[in-house]
A and B are shown apart, each in its own frame.
Chain A
Amino acid sequence: MIAGHLPVLLVVLPLMAAPVCVLLRRPAWAWTVAALASWGAFVAAIGLLLQVLDGGPISYPIGGWAAPWGIEYRLDMAGAFVAVIVSAIGAIVVPYARASIEREVAADRIYLFYCMYLLCLAGLLGITATGDAFNLFVFLEIASLSSYVMIALAQDRRALTAAYRYLIMGTIGATFYLIGVGLMYMMTGTLNMADLALRLPAVAETRTILAALAFLTVGICLKLALFPLHLWLPNAYTYAPSAVSAFLAATATKVAVYVLIRVYFTIFANVDVFETMFLREVLMALAVLAMLSASAIAVFQTNIKRMLAYSSLAQIGYMVLGINFATLTGLTGGIIHLFNHALMKGALFMAVGCVVFRLQAANLDTIEGLGRRMPATMAAFVVGGLSLIGVPLTVGFVSKWTLVLAAIELNMWSIVVAIVGSSLLAIAYVWRVVEISFFKPTPEGAPAIAEAPLSMLIPTWLLAGACLWFGIDASTTLSVARASAAFLLGGAP
């Protein structure tokens, strides 16, 4: 009975729990509601993935209105896979947030934080589940608006300007997306993705559809912070509360990447998008620029959260690159990196959050000798960092392997060089932190601090452990990513 309604439960559960948080007001109760809702969503997502693995894509007409008139929820392998990782991160961040948020957000606003957190989760999961282009816009805005609020909840006043800037850029991006959808509707008279895919080829050559494609691409790239549309991201991740940085870095941009995949490989499935308007060349150049320039900038950051933010920009470049290859291996690489990067960036931001919890700030000069004082936290950071570099036995290696393999298959040697170059820069920025925290003596008069509380350490290590687990046994994730990619590409002639 319930199994049939899982697609909608996935979204409704956190959506309905959000106002409950506001009604309860007490932080502890709000937390309990948030925890239950996010864990429920995780279970639902797992159930959906199993269903999809078992019986192929699931279609769920909302309110019984059949597509293409009603809104259809449609989960294929890629959607279910992204839903699993998003809800997993959501479920892991909640226990972590309890202590962290208490320290970083004013006490009378904590229940509001959990409300926003659940709305954001609902929005992100909605994006993965929906099969309707306009509905996707609505979910995108739900997720975005709540993340602006979550960023602005931090005590630092710079968080306010960061949130404001994110709001302006994010709204422009969303509005661009809306224009794109409008133009497509104008030409096809449908908003259902599967229906769009069928009707677009007939009008693909028109200027309207080209404009739609351009608007969609730019709008989504603003949301996923592809270089040079990334200006909102570093400040937003730096000044947001740590739990928020961890959550957003691991999910929000990933979901935007997922939207890009949806647009290119579902909506435009029967149109060769990459051959129009030099799209492939432009996106590939931007991805490579992102990988190299953002990694290079990361090397010079002293604030560790900011460093990780720039590293995220570079990693987004990898994902866009994988999408751009538009081959089976390439798209697999993009999707698997989406999954893997969520794990490693989540672990890294959470480890830094533990440091912030004890030290109020995570700068290179405050973490001297921290490896001795907070060994478990910093060890998790090392695992995440090695993943970023792409050392074998971590998830980063699997991503890098797949992407380099895809580039070699296409004989794109300059791309191989770029991927390798970006990894070398990653060694530089990750190792500065490792070296300072483990191999510099603790400065005289440094505050005596204990390890972070277990409620934060365990979630951090869950993700760090996942970085190792899925790095050693990558067969499961890779085969799901591969099946998703095959399904997405299958629509193309």
Chain B
Amino acid sequence: MTFPGLFNYWVAIALMMIGFYVVIAQENLVKKVVGLNIFQVSVFVFYISISKVKGGSAPILSDGIELYANPLPHVLILTAIVVGVATMALALALVVRIQDAYGTVEEDEIREREESS
């Protein structure tokens, strides 16, 4: 298998791991959201990669195009991106509310304030 070969999949996995690590390791709620986003994006990359057909062009209906990428995953990922955006918006909104209520977005400080109250 020649380059790029499985390159896309390696990228997807690398992004996934990076995102996952950030979600787990970060104490800052905003950074966690960022990590979550990276994690989701890795899956989008993965979906788009599986739709690629060797030598195929973009799936646009037009004369002379015989070989084209599978359009279905693209559609799916459009939906998934919408879901991802909604999640992101909600997560950030929650972080704002948490900042209002606790005066911080650091997880350890929130925990401290919850216990002291």
Contact = CB atoms under 8 A, between A and B. Distances in A.
A–B direct touch, CB within 8 Å, in complex? yes
16 contacts: A134-B76, A148-B90, A148-B94, A149-B90, A157-B101, A158-B114, A160-B94, A168-B32, A171-B91, A175-B39, A178-B80, A179-B43, A182-B46, A182-B73, A185-B73, A191-B76
A175 B29 CA distance: 19
Given A163-B94, A172-B23, A157 B102 contact: yes
A182 B43 contact: yes
Given A160-B101, A164-B91, 12 more contacts: A134-B76, A134-B79, A137-B80, A141-B86, A157-B102, A164-B94, A164-B95, A178-B43, A179-B43, A179-B46, A182-B50, A191-B76
B88 to A, nearest CB: 9
Interface in B75-104: 76, 79-80, 83, 86-87, 90-91, 94-95, 97-98, 101-102
Interface of A: 134, 137-138, 141, 145, 148-149, 152, 157-158, 160-161, 163-164, 167-168, 171-172, 174-175, 178-179, 182, 185-186, 191
A145 B94 contact: no
B47 interface: yes
B36 interface: yes
A136 to B, nearest CB: 12
Contacts of B73: 182, 185
The prevalent SS among residues of B at the interface is helix
Contact of B98 (A134, A149, A164, A171): A164
A145 B23 contact: no
Contacts of A137: 80, 83
Contact of B43 (A158, A163, A175): A175
Nearest to A151: B94
B94 A152 contact: yes
B46 A145 contact: no
A161 B39 CA distance: 21
Contacts of A171: 36, 40, 87, 91
A141 B85 CA distance: 12
Contacts of B39: 172, 175
A123 B31 CA distance: 29
Nearest to B107: A161
A310 B80 CA distance: 32
A148 B90 CA distance: 8
B85 to A, nearest CB: 11
B1 to A, nearest CB: 16
B114 A161 contact: yes
